[in-house]
Amino acid sequence: MRYVIVGNSAAAVGCITGIRKVDPDGEIVVISYEDRCYSKPMIADVLVDIPEEKLLYRDSSFFEENGVETILGHKAVSINRKNKVVALDSNELVPYDKLLIATGGKPFVPPIEGSDKKGVFTFTELHSAISFKNYLKENGAEEVIVIGSGFIGLEVAYFLREIGVNVRVVELLDRVLARALDRRGSEIVENMLREKGVEFIFNDTVEEIMGDEKVSSVRLKSGSVLRADAVVVAIGVRPNTELAQTAGVEINKGISVSDTMETSVPDIFAAGDCIECTDIVDGQKKPIPLFPLAFEQGFIAGLNMAGKNMEYLGGLVLNSLKFLPVPVLNAGVVEPTDDSCEVFVNDKFEKKGFYRKAIVKNGKLIGFIAIGEIDRTGILTNLIRQKIDVSNVKERLVELDFGLVDLPQWWREEKLKQDKTAYKDWRAF
Amino acid sequence: MSRKRKLMKVYPIEENCISCRYCEVACTMVHSESKDPVKAYKLENLLPRATVEVKEAVSLSLMCRHCKHPFCFDACISGAIMVDENGKVNLDEEKCVGCWNCVLVCPFGAAHPMIREEKRHSFKCDLCGDRGFPACVEACPNRALIYDFER
Backbone angles phi, psi at A303, to 5 degrees: -60, -45
Please give the pLDDT value at position B144: 97
Which positions in chain B touch A385 (Cβ < 8 Å)? 107
- Residues contacting residue A410 through CB under 8 Å, at least 6 positions apart: none
Q: CB-based contacts of A368: which residues, under 8 Å, 6+ apart?
A: A330, A331, A332, A334, A356, A357, A358, A359, A377, A380, A384, A397, A398
User: Whole-angstrom Cα distance, residue A162 to residue A48?
Assistant: 7
Q: Average pLDDT for residues A45-50, to the nearest whole number? A: 94
Query: Quick one: which H or E segment has residue A10?
Result: helix A10-22
Which among A293, A256, A270, A385 is positioned nearest to A40, based on CA atoms? A293
- Total residues found in chain A within this entry: 429
Q: With CA atoms as reference, report the closest residue to A327 among A391, A284, A375.
A: A375
- Which chain A residue has the Cα nearest residue B108? A379
**B145 and B90 share one domain:** no
Residue A334 has pLDDT above 70, yes or no: yes
B86 and B36 part of one domain: no
- Cross-chain Cβ contact A426/B58 below 8 Å: no
- The CA distance from B122 to A331, in Å, is 19
Q: Counting beta carbons within 10 angstroms of the beta carbon of residue A414, is it exposed (0 to 12), middle (13 to 18) or buried (19 or more)?
A: middle
Phi, psi of B6 (to 5 degrees): -135, 95
Q: What one-character DSSP code corresponds to residue A66?
A: T
Question: What is the C-alpha to C-alpha distance for residues A143 and A343, in angstroms, rounded to an integer?
Answer: 41
Residues B35, B91, single domain; the answer is: no
What confidence score (pLDDT) does residue A52 get?
A: 84
Determine what percent of chain A is predicted with pLDDT higher than 70: 100
Q: How far is A341 from chain B (nearest CA, A)?
A: 23
Say yes or no: B52 and B23 in one domain.
yes
User: Mean pLDDT across the stretch B65-85?
Assistant: 97
Residue A392 has φ and ψ, to the nearest 5°, of -80, -15
- Residues B30, B4, single domain; the answer is yes
Contacts of residue A258, Cβ cutoff 8 Å, sequence gap at least 6 = none
Using an 8 Å Cβ cutoff, are A171 and A141 in contact? Answer: no
Q: Which residue of B has its CA nearest to A424?
A: B69
- Comparing CA positions, the residue from A33, A80, A34, A40 lying closest to residue A56 is A40
CB contacts of B78 in chain A (<8 Å) are 39, 42, 54, 57
B58 and B70: one domain?
A: no
CB A46 within 8 A of CB A126: yes
> pLDDT tier at A157 (50, 70, 90 boundaries)?
very high
A405 close contact with B: CB closer than 8 A? yes
User: How many CA atoms does the CB half-sphere of B66 hold within 13 Å?
Assistant: 23
Angle at B21 between CA B18 and CA B22, to 5 degrees: 105
Residues of chain B found within 8 Å of residue A306, distances taken between Cβ atoms: none
Task: Specify the CATH number for the domain of residue B84.
Answer: 3.30.70.20
In whole angstroms, give the CA distance from residue A172 to residue A185.
18
Say whether both B44 and B87 belong to one domain. no
> How far is it, in rounded angstroms, from Cα A251 to Cα A101?
13
State yes or no: pLDDT of B2 exceeds 80.
no
Q: Which residue of A has its CA nearest to B146?
A: A417
Type of residue found at A212: D
The listed CATH number (3.50.50.60, 3.40.50.2300, 3.30.1330.10, 3.40.50.150) that belongs to domain A120-235: 3.50.50.60
Contacts of A366 (CB under 8 A, 6+ apart): A281, A332, A333, A337, A341, A359, A360, A384
Task: Return the CATH number at B144.
Answer: 3.30.70
What mean pLDDT is reported for chain B?
93
CB A50 within 8 A of CB A19: no
Q: What is the pLDDT of residues A393-408, one digit of tens each?
A: 999 999 999 999 999 9
| pLDDT given at position B3 | 56
pLDDT exceeds 70 at position B1 = no
Mean local confidence (pLDDT), B85-108: 96
**Residues 6+ positions from A374 with CB-CB distance below 8 Å:** A327, A329, B100, B103, B104, B113
Q: Residue A158: how many CB atoms within 10 A of its CB?
A: 21
- Describe the strand order of the beta sheet including A318-321 as a list of residue ranges: A318-321, A328-332, A364-371, A354-361, A342-348
Measured between beta carbons, the chain B residues lying within 8 angstroms of A57 are 77-79
Interface check for A291 against chain B (CB to CB < 8 A): the answer is yes
Question: Residue A376 in contact with residue B51, Cβ under 8 Å?
Answer: yes
pLDDT at B4 over 80: no
Q: To which H or E segment does residue A303 belong?
A: helix A291-305
Q: Are residues B112 and B74 in the same domain?
A: yes
**pTM for this entry:** 0.96
- What is the model's pLDDT at position B91? 98
- Strand segments, DSSP code E, in A50-92 are 68-72, 76-80, 85-88
Q: Do B35 and B75 fall into the same domain?
A: no
Model confidence at A18, pLDDT cuts 50, 70, 90, reads very high
The predicted pLDDT at position B42 comes to: 79
What ranges do the domains of chain A cover? 2-106+238-305, 120-235, 326-422
CB contact under 8 A, A322 and B1: no
Selected residues 347-376 of chain A with any CB under 8 Å from a CB in chain B: 374-376
CB-based burial of residue A224 (10 Å sphere; 0-12 exposed, 13-18 middle, 19+ buried)?
exposed
Digit-coded pLDDT (tens) for A80-130: 999 999 999 999 999 999 999 999 999 999 999 999 999 999 999 999 999
Q: How far apart are CA A206 and CA A186, in angstroms?
A: 21
Its domain, for residue B86, covers: 66-124
pLDDT digits (tens, 9 = 90+) for A238-292: 999 999 999 999 999 999 999 999 999 999 999 999 999 999 999 999 999 999 9
Shortest CA distance from A319: residue in chain B: B101
Taking CA–CA distances from B94, the nearest residue in chain A reads A54
Chain-wide mean pLDDT for chain A?
97
Task: Report d(CA A204, CA A194) in Å as an integer.
Answer: 18
* Maximal CA-CA distance, chain A: 69
Could you tell me which of B133, B146, B77 has the C-alpha nearest to residue B105? B77
Q: Position A306: which residue type?
A: A
Residue B114: strand, helix, or coil: strand
Band (B40; pLDDT cuts 50, 70, 90): confident
What is the per-residue DSSP string for A311-351? Answer: ----B--EEEE-SSSS-EEEEE-SS-SSTT-EEEEEEEHHH
Residue B52 shares a structural domain with residue B7: yes
How much is the ipTM here? Answer: 0.96
**Cα–Cα distance list, B65 to A115, A223, A299, A384 (Å):** 50, 58, 20, 20
CATH ID of A2-106+238-305, from 3.40.50.150, 1.10.3720.10, 3.50.50.60, 3.30.56.10:
3.50.50.60
* Contact between chains at A21 and B108 (C-beta distance less than 8 A): no
Regarding whether B47 and B36 lie in a shared domain, the answer is: yes
Is residue A263 within 8 A of residue A244, CB to CB? The reply is yes
DSSP, collapsed to helix, strand or coil, labels residue A239 as strand
Pair B50, B10 in one domain: yes
- pLDDT at residue A302 greater than cutoff 50: yes
Q: Do B109 and A54 touch (CB under 8 A)?
A: no
* Phi, psi (rounded to 5 degrees) for A79: -120, 130
A326-422, superfamily in CATH? FAD/NAD-linked reductase, C-terminal dimerisation domain (3.30.390.30)
C-alpha Rg value of chain A to the nearest Å: 23
Residues forming a β-bridge with A85: A80, A95
CB A383 within 8 A of CB A415: no
Count: domains in chain B: 2
